[in-house]
Structure 1
Amino acid sequence: MNPPSSETLISVRHDLRPGDLGAVVSLHGVVYAAEQGFDATFEAYVAGPMAEFVRTRGPRERLWIAERGDRLVGCIAIVGAGSRGALNHAGKGDASASEAGDAAQLRWFLVAPEARGAGLGRRLLGDAVAFARTCGYRSIQLWTVSALKTAAALYRAAGFEKTEEKPGRMWGVEVVEEKFVLCLEGAAVPVTEKPSKDL
C-alpha cells in the first residue's frame, strides 16, 4: 500500500500566516453561496470580525487552519465572548458583562466539500473544545443556521445543546438562526488522538 501523498494528507495548524484571512473568508463565501444561496453580504459578515480577530487576538483565542498541500480545506476558531462581543448572525451582542470572561464563542467552522467525510470536522471541533477548556472558559456558545444539519449533529455529539432559535432574513435568504451552548464542566468532549498533527 502506498503512503498518503502530500496531495491527500491534511495538516492542521494554528500559526497564522499571510493569506490565511483571505483564504478563510473566500472559502466561506464560495461554499455558502453554492450550498445555501448566501449572497456577498455573508462574506462581509465573515471578513469584518475576522480582520479584527487577526489584529487583536489574545492568548485565549485561536484560529485553526486545515490544509491539503497548500489549499485551505477547513477552519475553526475560539474567540472570547467578551473580547469583541459574542455575536449572533445579525451582528447583535449576545454576552452579558458578567459572563463575558467565562464564555468562549466558536466561529468560522467550515470544512470544504472535498475534505468532508473523513473526520476532519470532528477533529477540528475536538481541538477547539479542548483548547477552550484548557484556557479556563466555563462555556462555549455558537450561532449557526438550521440548514446546517451535519454541523448541528457534530455539536450535539460534543455535548452542545440548542438553547435558542429565531427566524429571519439575512445574506439574501430566509434562515432560522440557532444558538448552541456547551457547558465545559463535566461535558462530553470528543478526544482527538493527535491534535494538530497530520491526518
Structure 2
Amino acid sequence: MNKINATLDDITIRTDLMPGDLGYVIYRHGELYHSEYNYGISFETYVGAGLYEFYSSYDPAMDRVWICEHENKIVGFVLLMHRENNAAQLRYFLIEPEYRGIGLGKKLMNLYIDFLKEKGYQSSYLWTTNELYSAASLYKRHGFELTEEKPSTAFGKPLMEQRYDLINVK
C-alpha cells in the first residue's frame, strides 16, 4: 500500500450528493472489500441495496453523507441514515488505504457524532464484521459498544456480523 503525501488540510469534505457518488461508493466497496477481505459480489449488491434504501428515504434534515475528496477523487465516505425511534445508522464507512492513518477516520467519526447531537438523535448503531479490527477500534473509541454477533455467509464467506450501539448520545 502506497501512502499518499497528504494531510487532513488537503482533503475536502462535502455533504451534498452528486451524480456518480453512489455508484462509485458501491464500486469501491465491492473492489476494496474483495481485495482486502475476499468478500464476494454479494457484498457489493448489499451495499447497492442499502444505498438505494438510503436515497429512497433521504431527508436532508435528518440524513447526511460525508464525502472526502483529494485532487478531485473520492478518498473516503460515510453516511448517517435516520431510523425509527430517534435512532441513526452509520453505514458505508470507507477510507481508501493510502489515506488511512492521517486522522481522516477520526475526523469523520467526530462529524458523525456532532451531527447526531445537532439533530437530537438518542442512539446510533452500525453493523460490521469481526474482520474489521481497525474499524471496530475506532467505533469503540467513540463510545460504540458491541451488542450483538451472528454468524453469516452473506458476503460470500463465513464470518461474524457484529452490531455496535451508541446509546444516550450526549
Fold-level similarity (TM above 0.5) = yes
Q: Identity percentage over the alignment?
A: 39
Q: Which has the larger radius of gyration?
A: 1
Alignment equivalent of 1:66, drawn from 68, 76, 90: 68
Q: Does 1:125 align with 2:109?
A: yes
C-alpha change, 1:185 and 1:72, in structure 2 (3 Å) is closer
TM-score by structure 1 length? 0.78
Aligned mates of 2:71, 2:56 — CA distance in 1:
26
Structure ranking higher in helix proportion: 2
Ranges in structure 1 where 5+ consecutive residues have no aligned partner: 82-99, 187-199
Q: What is the root-mean-square deviation in Å for CA atoms of aligned residues?
A: 1.8
Moved over 4 A (4+): none
Deviation at 1:51, TM superposition (A): 2.1
- Is the CA contact (8 Å cut-off) linking 1:143 and 1:177 kept in structure 2? yes
Deviation at 1:136, TM superposition (A): 1.0
Aligned mates of 2:141, 2:45 — CA distance in 1:
30
SS of residue paired to 1:63: strand
Aligned length: 164
Deviation digits for residues 107-162 of structure 1, max 9, x if unmatched? Answer: 01111101101010111111111101111110001110010000000011001111
Moved more, 33-42 or 44-53: 44-53
Match in the other structure for 2:99: 115
Aligned mates of 2:62, 2:146 — CA distance in 1:
24
Match in the other structure for 1:56: 57
TM-score by structure 2 length? 0.90
Letter of the 1:143 partner, please give it: W
SS of residue paired to 2:153: strand
Ranges in structure 2 where 5+ consecutive residues have no aligned partner: none
